[in-house]
Chains A and B, each alone.
Chain A
Amino acid sequence: MGEGELELIQRALHGDVDAWGEIVRRYKDAVFGIALGILGNPADAEDAAHDAFIRAYQGLHTFHLEKRFSTWIFAITANVCKNKLRRERLFAPLKHLSRLTKGGDPAKQLAQQERTQIIREAIDQLKPAYKMPLVLRYYADLDYKEIAEALGLPEGTVKTRLHRAKSELKHILEQKGVTGHA
């Protein structure tokens, strides 16, 4: 747990909303990144991050203080996204890729933007069941055990889904002519 994190959580449990604000400040980038990776749309990811922090605060008494807070909040984020996908059937391809890099060679930027867009679209083509462990693994850096805990799946299932997700992704990217070298 990060420095002073347990104390912040305990203060939040006592109803100190500023302490919860500090928790949000610490985790918002990671939570937003996960939501964006799963949902693929910045506006929806923003809503999901907001909902995840509100739900986490409301359910804070269920958090086991001796466990890693990051895994818990990421699990809530993944669940919020899953419900959002289920509810809204958000499988539309990415629409917001107008500003991905700042500064540098414009030609290089454009090439990088296109490449990022292709990969992003490839990720969006994956089923949510594959996309969620993929994002938790490669954006949030969770290990298999933590992903299993976050998604409520056996560790073996997580490994299988990650393997299939990567195979599918590799296939899509190779068809689009994307290679491993920039």
Chain B
Amino acid sequence: MHEHELESLLKETLTRYAEAHRDRIADLEYEIVEELPSRQPTPRLRWGFVGAGAIAVAAVFVIGLWAGLNLFAAPCHDPSVLCLVYPNAKSVSVASQFTLWEPVPMNGPDRSGVWWIRLPDNIKPGRYEYSFIVDGERWVHDPRASEFVHTFDDKINSVLYIAPRGEQP
């Protein structure tokens, strides 16, 4: 038996065998999604039954250190904060019409690998395109944005709308 014959027999057998039993995993994605809400993708601190007093004392010492190391969770629930999860990036910046497309470094990462930046207070109401830049070279759109546009150079920009003060966007 030649090597190429053996290789094609192997491919054929493994593929045929998997196909024959594929119906076993027909609903796998639904099973997993059902199981996941109780789980978290990123490690979170679980204090368990450690005494609250001990935690408070420890926190006094730890908070200062954590603040310096950006270990707090990024404030992504705040609508005036842009966030990107990119745990292994060395740096992430945002470039936008409101920065005149100059990259502005983002804070982070926090302990979950989230980078974030607060929009400037003096930003005027309007529509702004923006993109994240990972490690100074990779343009990444915001997966949380509700609108995207294709650029002339085949990139994807995210879009955000700033409403006048007191109005909902």
Q: A65 touching B11 by the CB < 8 A rule?
A: no
Counting CB contacts under 8 A, is B13 at the interface?
yes
Counting CB contacts under 8 A, is A99 at the interface?
yes
> What is the interface of chain A mostly: helix, strand, loop, or mixed?
helix
Q: B88 touching A64 by the CB < 8 A rule?
A: yes
A: contact size bracket: 35 or more
Q: A10 touching B33 by the CB < 8 A rule?
A: no
Counting CB contacts under 8 A, is B98 at the interface?
no
Counting CB contacts under 8 A, is A60 at the interface?
yes
CB distance from B133 to the nearest CB of A (A): 13
Q: Tell me the A1-29 residues at the B interface (CB within 8 Å).
A: 6-7, 10-15, 17-18, 20-22, 24-25, 28-29
Q: B36 touching A120 by the CB < 8 A rule?
A: no
CA distance A53 to B29 in the complex (A): 9
CA distance A50 to B36 in the complex (A): 12
Question: Which residues on B are within 8 Å of A, measured CB to CB?
Answer: 1-3, 5-18, 20-22, 24-25, 28-33, 35-37, 39-43, 76, 83-89, 112-113, 134, 138, 140-141, 143-144
Question: Which residues on A are within 8 Å of B, measured CB to CB?
Answer: 6-7, 10-15, 17-18, 20-22, 24-25, 28-29, 32-33, 36-37, 42-43, 45-46, 49-50, 53-54, 57-58, 60-66, 96-97, 99-101, 116, 119-120, 123, 134-135, 138-139, 166, 169-170, 173-174, 178-181
